[in-house]
Amino acid sequence: MKVGILGTGSYVPEKILTNDDLSKIVDTNDEWITVRTGIKERRIVDENEGTSDLAFRAAQKAIEDAKIDKNEIDLVIVATMTPDYGTPSTAALVQDKLGINAAAFDLGAACTGFVYAYTAGHSFIKAGIYKKVLVIGAEAMSRVIDWTDRGTCILFGDGAGAVVLGEVENGGYMASHLVADGSGASELLVPAGGTKEPVSKEKIDNKDIYLKMNGREIFKFAVRVFPETVEDVLGQAGITADDVDLFIPHQANIRIIESIAKRFKQPLDKFFVNLNKYGNTSAGSIPIALDEAIKEGKLKKGDKFVATGFGGGLTYGSILVEISK
């Protein structure tokens, strides 16, 4: 049995926050942000939107694209680091919004979340436990950002992407590679809000409820592990970078993407880039890019793509997939 993508969908909030808008909040400007990151604008949830709302809208589009009845979905997996609540899971909220009877759980692997969730969804189907799995990467990063911290507030945005996985006749999953290195946990984390450091007035005053990131170390980490994980999935499949039709990297920084293109001696146009429009949407990054790549005709039936994520955990990994439809 082969397992592949039956449909894709994505959703981003209507509100646009440009670099010029940010220059009115912190000491920065459009040129500074663009040159260092490649980001021009990002989407921001409104006061009534949460991660589950973004995930639900992306899920609706993916189910419609798959041309299946929503009740065929057996399992909902939501990859996110910005859940609506500590409990219940965001996936359970999406299941309810969809009005379906299905198992549901969240998966936390930060910016690598979708790659992890895709692999999990594939495995459930391959094992014969479920037939159709809805895999979503969704984030409302603006909710965990300190808008006075120039090092992080310029980078992140909100959005969600989704895929429906199921049995296919041709193509589908080819390889996966997942890694975690918890020794680097302190380089990217939200210090307070969990059981280790519960929320308190002191934690709020210290802004420990917001994302903290060592940007320089994360950049070095990404450039180091990106080639490793891509080479692993290519090796599993017995192919080379030249055989890949499109690379879909986590949309974090254009300099990282340019470095990887050079490393694999591939033209930059083989790397799908939309971070200029959305910034870093963490677990939403890859599925949004995947949906846009397919809708724009940059991926068609028989094409192979590698999606690579890296982020908090620290985590990283890749999937190699052949388009089935």
Annotation says 111 is catalytic: yes
Active site residue 71: no
- 276: tokens are 């200029």
Q: If DSSP codes are grouped into helix, strand and coil, which group holds residue 107?
A: strand
C-alpha separations of 215 from 71, 155, 245 in Å: 43, 10, 30
End-to-end CA distance of the chain: 16
Question: How many whole angstroms separate alpha carbon 293 and alpha carbon 163?
Answer: 13
Q: How far apart are CA 63 and CA 76, in angstroms?
A: 12
CA distances from 230 to 205, 227, 264, 302 (A): 42, 5, 10, 19
> Among 111, 122, 153, 177, which one carries the catalytic annotation?
111
> Which superfamily does 174-323 belong to?
Thiolase/Chalcone synthase (3.40.47.10)
130-168 pLDDT, tens digit each = 999 999 999 999 999 999 999 999 999 999 999 999 999
Domain ranges of the chain: 2-170, 174-323
Domain at 2-170: CATH code: 3.40.47.10
Whether 2-170 and 174-323 share one fold: the answer is yes
- What does the block give as tokens for 284? 């939403």
Q: Which pLDDT tens digits describe the chain residue by residue (325 residues)?
A: 899 999 999 999 999 999 999 999 999 999 999 999 999 999 999 999 999 999 999 999 999 999 999 999 999 999 999 999 999 999 999 999 999 999 999 999 999 999 999 999 999 999 999 999 999 999 999 999 999 999 999 999 999 999 999 999 999 999 999 999 999 999 999 999 999 999 999 999 999 999 999 999 999 999 999 999 999 999 999 999 999 999 999 999 999 999 999 999 999 999 999 999 999 999 999 999 999 999 999 999 999 999 999 999 999 999 999 999 8
pLDDT tens string 296-312: 999 999 999 999 999 99
What are the strands, taking DSSP E only, across the chain?
Answer: 2-11, 15-18, 41-44, 75-79, 103-107, 133-140, 158-168, 172-180, 188-189, 212-213, 246-249, 304-311, 315-322
Across 249-286, b (16+ Cβ under 10 Å) vs e yields: bbbbbbebbeebbeebeeeeebbbbbbebbbbbbbbbb
Q: Which entry of 122, 250, 253, 274 is annotated as an active-site residue?
A: 250
Residue from 19, 253, 274, 280 carrying the catalytic annotation: 280
- 250 among known catalytic residues: yes
